[in-house]
């Protein structure tokens, strides 16, 4: 109940309307069951009159009128079933949209540091499997509550029909519940294990897919398969236990209740047979009430089985929202200088990668940064791009701390060209535009020309409309890199940070990238992480980064 209501959230009024319709549905179904039982009794006795209601206060009416009343009840049931089904479906799909939207926004709004700490495939798992299971919790909750309302209404009808026997039925239900509760608790004691193991399986499968080439190269397929198979077996055993409970307990409850009722009815029949008058309608109501209760039990079992997934979603969402990235409040449209004052950055509790950096970058300068791997170059670029926040010190845009600058305005002023240029599923034009509306096709073409990739795009099968993907073989590594540069140049940024833009390029692509850098020199501020001497020739100043310390090495 708690998990389902948390997922339903603001749609609780819709749930209340659904339960109100369920009350009407239960009343009509109870009336219909009375009529069916009474008509059956009249037909078996050969009479033309049908007795409706409790035995002592029964109302007699002709058979045809009773049938007409029953048909009216059927019509009412059909009419009410449509809005009830629509409401139950709406509760599910609205919860799915709301939950997936919240996860996406929380993930994309979380800091890069926190996202780096997450398991591989965690976002895909939350958006996919976990959201589907949370939506299933809503289904099971609404199904359980509707059937519970139906059960209460039908039991109330049974009490009206024959209070003594109906109370015996309720006593039987209570006895079965007390007797079967320890069994259910024993079978459910490992309910969270399948969820935790499934999360581990998904994470490890994602990891195996990412390093599949390395797995083949080191020929460790068997150990990897053994590890995953152990997780699979553990999850299967725990899930099997839950499935066993789900199949066994409802059957024991239903059959045990019927057995208790038969025993009690036989006792009543031997003591006071007059109490059994009108037992046929009660028997039909009993069967229908138990069917509703069984639906409640099944829905409760499924929801209980899924509950750990909902709890995991809430825990992950809370963590993502706790580690949200500061949006900043100051909008800027240009900067005069980019200053770094006593800048420090630390990973974890002890690993300090930047130590008291201090320098100033003037507009239009091309700054080269060199140094060994692990020296802090990429961390510095992330700080300049506002992708990470300093542990100490400041990055200043003019006199304004960079973290106080709004993320939107800084993204308009800065751009990033990573070492490993990534494509998305879509056209060449869509890859250059990269989810940024407001740029025309002419703007896209101008950016491609500036990156010296336009002519090669035009030789593709559909030019700018050629479909690409993350693993596209239509473009070489050098072409993908220049496409990434065109993506950066589209917004005409004042600052571009390039991380090894020529490290894996052939000589022709390196020459074209260098030509682009020469053309940008003096007009755009560029921070260039590079090792190749030919790339560094374009720099105004070069800094060397080693063990977190920055020193100016030479001027070009």
Helix/strand/coil (H, E, C) string of 400-457?
A: EEHHHECHHHHHHHEEEECCCCCCCCEEHHHHHHCCCCCCCHHHHHHHHHHCCCHHHH
Angle in degrees, CA 233, 235, 239, rounded to 5: 115
Whether 495 and 415 have beta carbons less than 8 Å apart is answered as yes
What are the start-end ranges of the H helices in 57-162?
Answer: 63-109, 112-116, 122-125, 131-161
* pLDDT bucket at 294, cuts 50 / 70 / 90: confident
Residue 494 pLDDT exceeds 70: yes
CB burial readout 506-519, b (16+ within 10 A) else e: eeebbebbbebbee
pLDDT at 445: 96
* pLDDT bucket at 250, cuts 50 / 70 / 90: low
Cα 351 to chain centroid distance, Å, stands at 33
Q: Which residues contact 373 (CB under 8 A, 6 or more apart)?
A: none
Query: Which tokens is 537 given?
Result: 């020739």
Higher-pLDDT residue of 429 and 123 is 429
Whether 535 and 502 have beta carbons less than 8 Å apart is answered as yes
C-alpha–C-alpha distance, residues 29 and 153, integer Å: 9
Question: How many other C-beta atoms can be found within 10 angstroms of the C-beta atom of residue 546?
Answer: 14
Q: Output phi, psi for 458, to 5 deg.
A: -65, -20
* pLDDT bucket at 20, cuts 50 / 70 / 90: very high
Look up the CATH architecture of domain 338-555: 3-Layer(aba) Sandwich (3.40)
* CATH 3.40.50.300 location in the chain: 338-555
**Extended beta strands in 260-349, E state:** 338-347
Q: Mean pLDDT, the chain, as a whole number?
A: 81
Rg value, the chain, Cα: 35
pTM: 0.72
Angle in degrees, CA 439, 443, 448, rounded to 5: 125
CA-nearest of 109, 94, 118 to 14 is 94
CA-nearest of 267, 272, 199, 189 to 235 is 199
Percent of the chain at pLDDT > 70 equals 83
C-alpha–C-alpha distance, residues 257 and 170, integer Å: 9
Pairing between strand 495-499 and 525-529?
parallel
* CATH 1.20.1560.10 location in the chain: 4-190+246-322
Give mean pLDDT, residues 125-129.
82
Look up the CATH architecture of domain 4-190+246-322: Up-down Bundle (1.20)
C-alpha–C-alpha distance, residues 556 and 474, integer Å: 37
Out of 150-159, 243-252, 402-411, least confident range:
243-252
Residue 454 pLDDT exceeds 90: yes
In 3-state terms, what secondary structure has residue 491? coil
Percent of the chain at pLDDT > 90 equals 22
C-alpha–C-alpha distance, residues 312 and 307, integer Å: 9
C-alpha–C-alpha distance, residues 243 and 133, integer Å: 16
In sequence order, the β-bridge partners of residue 405 are 330
């Amino acid at each position: 109940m708690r998990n389902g209501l948390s997922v339903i959230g603001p749609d609780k009024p819709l749930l209340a309307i659904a339960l109100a319709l369920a009350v009407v549905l239960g009343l009509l179904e109870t009336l219909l069951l009375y009529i069916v039982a009474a008509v059956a009794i009249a037909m078996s006795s050969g009479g033309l009159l049908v007795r409706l209601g409790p035995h002592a206060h029964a109302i007699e009416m002709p058979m045809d009128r009773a049938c007409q009343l029953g048909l009216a009840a059927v019509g009412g049931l059909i009419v009410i079933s449509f809005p009830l089904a629509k409401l139950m479906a709406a509760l599910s799909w609205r919860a799915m949209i709301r939950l997936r939207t919240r996860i996406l926004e929380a993930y994309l709004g979380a800091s890069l540091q926190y996202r780096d700490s997450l398991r591989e495939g965690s976002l895909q798992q939350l958006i996919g499997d976990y959201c589907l299971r949370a939506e299933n919790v809503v289904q099971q909750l609404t199904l359980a509550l509707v059937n519970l309302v139906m059960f209460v209404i039908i039991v109330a009808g049974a009490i009206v029909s024959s209070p003594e026997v109906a109370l015996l039925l309720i006593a039987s239900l209570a006895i079965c519940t007390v007797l079967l509760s320890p069994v259910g608790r024993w079978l459910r004691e490992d309910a969270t294990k399948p969820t935790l193991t499934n999360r581990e399986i998904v994470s490890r499968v994602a990891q195996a897919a990412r390093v599949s080439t390395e797995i083949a190269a080191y020929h460790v397929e068997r150990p990897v398969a053994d590890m995953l198979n152990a997780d699979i077996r553990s999850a299967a055993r725990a899930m099997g236990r839950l499935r066993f409970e789900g199949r066994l307990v409802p059957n024991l409850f239903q059959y045990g209740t019927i057995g208790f009722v038969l025993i009690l009815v036989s006792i009543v029949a031997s003591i006071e047979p007059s109490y059994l008058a009108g037992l046929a309608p009660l028997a039909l109501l009993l069967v229908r009430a138990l069917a509703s209760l069984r639906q409640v039990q099944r829905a409760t079992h499924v929801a209980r089985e899924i509950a750990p997934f909902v709890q995991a979603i809430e825990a992950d969402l809370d963590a993502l929202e706790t580690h949200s990235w500061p949006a900043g409040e100051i909008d800027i449209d240009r900067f005069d200088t980019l200053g770094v004052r006593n800048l420090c950055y630390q990973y974890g509790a002890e690993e300090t990668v930047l130590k008291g950096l201090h320098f100033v970058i003037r507009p239009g300068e091309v700054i080269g940064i060199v140094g060994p791997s692990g020296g802090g170059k990429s961390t510095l670029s992330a700080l300049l791009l506002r992708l990470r926040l300093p542990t100490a010190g400041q990055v200043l845009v003019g006199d304004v701390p960079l973290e106080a600058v709004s993320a939107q305005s800084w993204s308009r002023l800065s751009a990033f060209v990573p070492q490993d240029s990534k494509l998305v599923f879509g056209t060449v034009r869509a890859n250059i535009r990269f989810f940024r509306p407001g740029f025309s096709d002419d703007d896209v073409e101008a950016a491609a020309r500036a990156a010296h990739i336009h002519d090669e795009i035009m030789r593709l099968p559909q030019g700018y409309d050629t479909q690409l993907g993350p693993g596209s073989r239509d473009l070489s590594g050098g072409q993908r890199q220049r496409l990434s540069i065109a993506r950066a140049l589209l917004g005409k940024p004042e600052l571009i940070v390039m991380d090894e833009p020529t490290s894996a390029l052939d000589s022709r692509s390196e020459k074209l990238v260098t030509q682009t850098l020469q053309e940008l020199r003096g007009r755009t501020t560029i921070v260039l992480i590079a090792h190749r001497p030919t790339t560094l020739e374009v720099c105004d100043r070069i800094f060397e980064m080693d063990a977190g310390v920055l020193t100016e090495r030479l001027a070009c």
